[in-house]
Amino acid sequence: MPPRFADDAPDARDLHVLTPGQLDDWLTAQPDAIAGWVRDMGFDGGLGQALALPGEAGGIGMALAGYGTEASRQRDRFALAAAAARLPAGTYRIASGLPDADAANEALGWLLASYRFDRYKAQGPMKAALVAPAGIDVARIEAIVAGECLTRDLINTPAQDMGPDSLQAATEALAAEFGAVIETVVGDDLLQQNFPMIHAVGRAATRAPRLMDMRWGDEGPSLTLVGKGVCFDTGGLNLKPGASMGLMKKDMGGAATVLGLARMIMATGLKLRLRVLIPAVENNVSGDSFRPGDILTSRKGLTVEINNTDAEGRLVLADALALADEEEPDLVVSMATLTGAARVAVGPDLAPFYATSDLMAAQLSDAAGACADPVWRMPFWDPYEAKIEPGIADLDNAPSGGFAGSITAALFLRRFVEASGDYLHFDIYGWQPASAPARPKGGTGQGARALLDALPRLLSL
């Protein structure tokens, strides 16, 4: 079960959230014994500090959480979650100190910090539970947490148990939960229904490639989400070094994030027509692998020269994006763990995105800042179009030279979205390299919460 807020109860403990600047005033109002205890224990309101205070009848009476300075909070997200992880077992209610403007994000962070991936090994639960602060939208926050937990679970599951068939099963389970309709095209039927590049990338694997197509909602503007579902990426015949394969279970992080976002949209009941397309493949090596030098013909009819079989994500996305574009939705969003160049540019914490509309980019960036889901706009830089045009075919899947790899990949994808209203592309990492407040090491969603918050403006809902 995804983490949820605790019910308020008589035994819930008051939690006072304090910055260093607030501490002296708070201590002045306390009995000498409490003030002395706080000082002797070295609590100074620093970011992530937690301190339990004794009650009159023994045991814990209340607790303090350090909220740090504004400067320290600027260096990370979810300050309250850092303290929550250090609190003793029990249920806590916010009694003072947490600004109303921060309550929703900090409550979200507390629940996200409670996430555990325990499919293969029991994990100790987070000891401290939170009563929802007054004034927040409890149902919305719990829906967001459930969507993020779905994303994390899918990414964290190793490829042995999260191949294309398992990703299909997860998508079908989500559709069944919310009354969505899903169709899936599998194996050689991809050729019959004109998805040649999805088939080419996935044909070498024993688990057949497929395309999932899920629909939900029958009123409002149309939104199509496309997620890269490469369940494991060996690199194909351009084989990755062993060290580079270690995290390739996360190469379906785009699909996982799209499914998490779809869950948030459906659970919050946004009035739109949602379509989710997930090309699911494994990029494996066999006698049937596609080869460097091959020229593939896409669903759109554009030909693609294969100069590196390890640049497979854009191939499967291209066929799915071409299908999405045929319906001319108001907005198409693709999410993919697509390029190492994006990680070099912005690291693992930021989600780079590309937008065909300056207004939409600004609206998304504003929403990201407000909901602590950081994004960074990258350019669809038209002068680089020539880099993806090899001469022998319409497009090159892996331009030489090594420059602007994330941008050229985005330009490649944009060629397949021409009739739709607007297009957003996210080149995400989908992985938390080291544990941080509310983000344990492992799979993580990026950009989904920002999109959820921005959609009412992006689509005039």
- pLDDT over 90 at 8, yes or no: yes
Which DSSP state fits 385? G
- pLDDT over 90 at 57, yes or no: no
Residue 272 has φ and ψ, to the nearest 5°, of -150, 170
Cβ neighbours around 280 below 10 Å, total: 31
Is 417 among the domain residues?
yes
- The burial class, CB within 10 Å (0-12 / 13-18 / 19+), for 70 is exposed
Confidence of residue 401 (pLDDT cuts 50, 70, 90): confident
Is 222 among the domain residues?
yes
Per-residue buried b or exposed e for 286-313, using 16+ beta carbons within 10 Å of the residue's own CB: eeebbeeebebebbbebebbbbbbbbbb
| Residues 233 and 246 grouped into a single domain | yes
| Residues 398 and 419 grouped into a single domain | yes
Closest CA to 412 of 290, 298, 249: 298
Range of the domain at 124: 13-136
Among 136, 152, 175, identify where a domain stops: 136
Q: Where are the alpha helices (DSSP H) in 162-280?
A: 164-178, 189-192, 196-202, 242-245, 253-268
Annotated active-site residue 240? The verdict is: yes
| Residues 101 and 248 grouped into a single domain | no
- Rounded CA separation 221/331 (Å): 8
Mean pLDDT of 369-392: 97
- In this prediction, residue 288 carries a pLDDT of 96
- Rounded CA separation 280/252 (Å): 8
SS3 content of the chain, % helix, strand, coil (to 5): 40, 20, 40
Q: Where are the alpha helices (DSSP H) in 185-339?
A: 189-192, 196-202, 242-245, 253-268, 313-326
- The burial class, CB within 10 Å (0-12 / 13-18 / 19+), for 343 is middle
Confidence of residue 402 (pLDDT cuts 50, 70, 90): confident
- Rounded CA separation 162/31 (Å): 57
For residue 50, the domain's CATH number is 3.40.220.10
Among 136, 159, 184, identify where a domain stops: 136
| pLDDT tens digit sequence for 134-175 | 999 999 999 999 999 999 999 999 999 999 999 999 999 999
Share of residues in the chain with pLDDT > 70 (%):
100
Confidence of residue 1 (pLDDT cuts 50, 70, 90): confident
| Residues 117 and 182 grouped into a single domain | no
| Residues 109 and 86 grouped into a single domain | yes
Is 4 among the domain residues?
no
Is 6 among the domain residues?
no
| Residues 39 and 183 grouped into a single domain | no
Q: What are 147's two structure tokens?
A: 């969507």
| pLDDT tens digit sequence for 209-231 | 999 999 999 999 999 999 999 99
| Residues 331 and 453 grouped into a single domain | yes
Out of 86, 93, 116, 240, the active site residue is: 240
Among 108, 136, 164, identify where a domain stops: 136
- pLDDT over 90 at 56, yes or no: no
Number of structural domains in the chain: 2
Mean pLDDT of 47-57: 93
Count the residues in the chain.
461
Is 7 among the domain residues?
no
Collapsed DSSP state (helix, strand, coil) of residue 92 = strand
- The burial class, CB within 10 Å (0-12 / 13-18 / 19+), for 416 is buried
- In this prediction, residue 259 carries a pLDDT of 98
| pLDDT tens digit sequence for 168-200 | 999 999 999 999 999 999 999 999 999 999 999
| Residues 46 and 161 grouped into a single domain | no
Residue 146 has φ and ψ, to the nearest 5°, of -60, -40
| Residues 43 and 173 grouped into a single domain | no
| Residues 198 and 326 grouped into a single domain | yes
Annotated active-site residue 441? The verdict is: no
- Rounded CA separation 118/95 (Å): 32
| Residues 254 and 352 grouped into a single domain | yes
**54 and 37 in contact (C-beta within 8 Å)?**
yes
Query: Rounded mean pLDDT of the chain?
Result: 97
- pLDDT over 90 at 58, yes or no: no
The distance from CA 250 to its chain's CA centroid, rounded to whole angstroms, is 11
Out of 77, 314, 387, 439, the active site residue is: 314
| pLDDT tens digit sequence for 258-268 | 999 999 999 99
**428 and 257 in contact (C-beta within 8 Å)?**
yes
| Residues 74 and 206 grouped into a single domain | no
E strands, 234-370, are: 273-283, 295-297, 303-305, 331-336, 351-355
Mean pLDDT of 356-380: 98
- Rounded CA separation 446/227 (Å): 13
E strands, 72-180, are: 90-96, 128-130
- pLDDT over 90 at 408, yes or no: yes
Residue 435 has φ and ψ, to the nearest 5°, of -60, 140
Is 356 among the domain residues?
yes
Element (H, E) at 377: strand 375-377
Residue 349 has φ and ψ, to the nearest 5°, of -90, -25
- Rounded CA separation 374/370 (Å): 9
**215 and 274 in contact (C-beta within 8 Å)?**
yes
Is 3 among the domain residues?
no
Is 193 among the domain residues?
yes
- Rounded CA separation 20/63 (Å): 16
For residue 398, the domain's CATH number is 3.40.630.10
